[in-house]
Amino acid sequence: MKTLAIVFKKSVFAIVIGLLFFACKSDSGTEDIGTIFIGIFDNTWEVQGVDNYSFGIFRDGSIGTTSGILFGNEDHPNSGSIDMINGTFDGLNLAFTIPRTNGNVVFTGVMTPTSETDHTIIRIDLSSSEGENLVLFTN
């Protein structure tokens, strides 16, 4: 009787572990880079289609983190000034605020990596609270 109880407990344990394994497995068979992503995006980013317009975007702290604080500056050709930016990133998503003379502008965006294995960012698509849509790239 004792042996039957031990076999039953081991069987239940094996079933629970199996269910957890399949429940946590990605549908595509690959890891979801949105949840484990550690991007390399510290750089000066040029705005596509606009001469002399760029964003310097850098992480504050450890490079190996999947989320955190970012900082930098916006060099806007129309204002002639360099405005500081502060924000956050989480996986491939980022958001930051730029204080301008006519009020704060909030940018939100998505970063595009080279591939699932090379997390170097090659493009950032941004939308602003003023209705601007920008594409950032590096040279």
pLDDT in tens, 10-26: 444 445 444 444 444 44
State the alpha helices, DSSP H only, in 2-104: 2-24, 33-36
Domain that holds residue 129: 33-137
Question: 52: how many CB neighbours lie within 10 A of its CB?
Answer: 10
4 versus 136: the higher-pLDDT residue is 136
25 domain residue, yes or no:
no
Instruction: Please report, rounded to a whole number, the percentage of residues in the chain having pLDDT higher than 90.
Output: 48
Q: Is the confidence at residue 53, as pLDDT, over 90?
A: yes
Cα 54 to chain centroid, rounded: 19
CA-CA distance, 40 to 25, in Å (whole number)? 26
- Look at the chain and report how many structural domains it folds into: 1
77 domain residue, yes or no:
yes
120 domain residue, yes or no:
yes
21 domain residue, yes or no:
no
Secondary structure tally for the chain: helices H, strands E: 2, 8
Closest listed residue to residue 128, CA positions, set 112, 110, 109, 101: 109
Amino acid at 77: P
Output the domain CATH number for residue 69.
Answer: 2.40.128
- Do residues 99 and 81 make contact, with C-beta atoms less than 8 angstroms apart? no
9 domain residue, yes or no:
no
22 domain residue, yes or no:
no
10 versus 65: the higher-pLDDT residue is 65
100 domain residue, yes or no:
yes
80 domain residue, yes or no:
yes
